[in-house]
Structure 1
């Protein structure tokens, strides 16, 4: 796939080493087979090799990410998954001006192709994925510092392709593509499943009101895709840990606490956060986030951050509950399927967290009014 891309490869490798004279002497390309790509991601590849730099052989490595249009709705810059957004983010240089607590990979080249794809030639980031509560708390604190910078004087970028209503767009799409529950409801017999269904109906009836309430929160620049795979911890100067966030496709202007809710919710969904520690993580992440906000100089009403955190986590039920209901129905006809049992039990525990946080958001909403 790189036979006609030597000029682009040379430009990218040259930019790794700056002004020095560079000669590529070998390279290979490896498909990373990323397991959970965005719908707008066509492929992610690792390209690496050797080059002569100042008469010495040195290794180099870059990431090639290919993005594409997936559907008509994703042609709209207001859509949460607008397909061109990450390319525009890199071209704009917004990521060069992030607060110090967060870093992003360098982009060496943005290249639009005739067939309708865009190739992003990116810095390869070597780092460690968060696996412990301490690491997640550390990231939550840096996230607080990142969001807090925009609450204490740093100007929020105003480009029109940055999403302004990320959760509204996401919930609309989730409802559109969720399983049709009409065929499953009659199969609900367990008390827990029936209780979840009753709560979910009440919660969804308030969606528009809740989304409108989010718009009243103080605004910050947000990443909105803080899954484990997009957060890399590595050593910076002075042996200090630094956080590098990759995949800025969902960049948005959001309410305080929303990014933290996405981080907590998506890592429960992916099975990264252990089921028996959901409550522990829920509280420790929030306290770390508040510490980060204060480190950035924000001493506003913590209930605002709590509201954004609770509601953004609870809104994930729009996707999770339909999955849970459909799996429950399958379990009725296949009760000995242990894999299915485990999925249902884990989803049930996640939705219980959604319920608790949704109810807390309701209480906080009343306090706000």
Structure 2
């Protein structure tokens, strides 16, 4: 964890922007205290124009998480904050999810959000969310068995809760917007030189180029399928870095994308992300994914859900389309230094490309399964399958 910064009413930290406001809010949230509050910046996607910052705040023996939502950060392009309540990156959504109580919809089934301690509408237009600090082990360090239990709880929660009552600020058509917003490097998919870069040539499996180009060309078909499947209230950014243990249960953070998704879509995001960011070795992914899928189905059945399991399987497999952009990104950045999520440390480039290449090949198998399964369930055949 970075060295914490002391914040008091007379000292302004450039990253915090308004130390006096933080100090006053901390007094209200944590209770009156003397002396400084200490802030430690937490790893997050600093590119996202919605996130002004995330900090652990402590004063004496009291702590909380401060997350600032903003639309004034100035990010452009893909990560720009949106004022459209249906947009995948609507800047106020997370505050609304917490304030409405919807973030706790899965709590009876073993998955909850941190408690909202305070929502502060600041004079500058930003929103400060003061959240409970959950101290359990991050899912980035979980053993596979714990991931499987999380998958079971997710199935139970989504089977029982189903679709949330629609709210104007919940995301709709998230997957289509998210995938379509990232075009970096797409022209390289058909570029011979890009595929001959050493990191790509030496560490991407044979046949991956063919499979990923095919996935890209079939993208609209996959998105149409995903939007036609049974729906569920979904987190839509569920991965180990947003999850930690809460005793025997789970806590999930960062509800900024929450909204309408296909039943099974969250699992289809969680499993590959576990490997893409090097939390579980790629060699274990096939067995891990199969067991996690069975755990998710077990949770669904235990919840009383009576739907067609083939439709859930189709959602998990077709969700491979979310990573259409990642192959192009890997091609575009094969000549750059490789850094971990949040940009705070380097990672071994060869290891990353080998692990991600293997995971993309696994997702190509999911895509193939989706193309086979969909027509059996009444969907049109994929264009490349005709």
Q: Mark the CA change 1:10 to 1:188 in structure 2 (over 3 Å): closer, same or farther.
A: closer
- With over 3 angstroms needed to count, the CA separation of the structure-2 counterparts of 1:273 and 1:194, relative to structure 1, is closer
Alignment partner of 2:156: what SS? helix
Distance 1:193 1:326, change over 3 A: farther
Moved more, 91-100 or 346-355: 91-100
Aligned pairs (5 A) from 1:169-248:
169-174=177-182, 176-178=183-185, 180-181=187-188, 184-188=191-195, 195-235=207-247, 241-248=248-255
The answer as to whether partners of 2:81 and 2:91 remain within 8 angstroms in 1 is: no
Deviations 1:35-67 (A, max 9, x none): 5446121211122223xxxxxxxx321111112
More strand by share: 1
Q: Structure 2 residue aligned with 1:49, among 46, 59, 84? A: 59
Alignment-derived partner of residue 11 in structure 1: 28
Give the Cα–Cα distance (whole angstroms) in 1 for the partners of residues 189 and 153 of structure 2. 43
How far, CA to CA, are the matches of 2:336 and 2:63 in structure 1?
46
Identify the residue that residue 70 of structure 2 maps to in structure 1. 68
Length-normalised TM-score, structure 2: 0.80
Corresponding residue for residue 334 of structure 1: none
Task: Tell me: CA distance 1:299–1:74, structure 2 relative to 1, closer, same or farther (3 Å).
Answer: same
Aligned to 2:95: 87
**Structure 1 residues 278 and 193, CA gap change in structure 2 (3 angstroms):** closer
User: What is the correspondence of 1:114-193 to structure 2 with a 5 Å cutoff?
Assistant: 114-130=123-139, 131-151=142-162, 156-174=164-182, 176-178=183-185, 180-181=187-188, 184-188=191-195
2:307 is the alignment partner of 1:300: yes
State the shift of 1:216 in Å.
1.8
Question: Structure 1 residues 187 and 208 mapped into 2: Cα distance closer, same or farther (>3 Å)?
Answer: closer
1:265 to 272, 285, 299: 272
Q: Does 1:355 align with 2:364?
A: yes
Aligned residues: 337
SS of equivalent residue, structure 1 residue 181: helix
Q: How far apart, CA to CA, are the structure 1 residues paired with 2:164 and 2:187? A: 39
Q: Which residue of 1 aligns with 2:4?
A: none
Determine the structure 1 residue equivalent to 2:106: 98
User: Which residue of structure 2 lines up, in the alignment, with residue 54 of structure 1?
Assistant: none
Query: Any idea what the Cα deviations from partners look like across 1:77-115, whole Å, max 9, x if unmatched?
Result: 222221211011122222344341221111122222333
Query: What is the RMSD of the two structures over their aligned residues, measured on CA atoms?
Result: 2.6
Q: Which runs of 5+ in 2 are unaligned?
A: 1-17, 338-346, 379-386
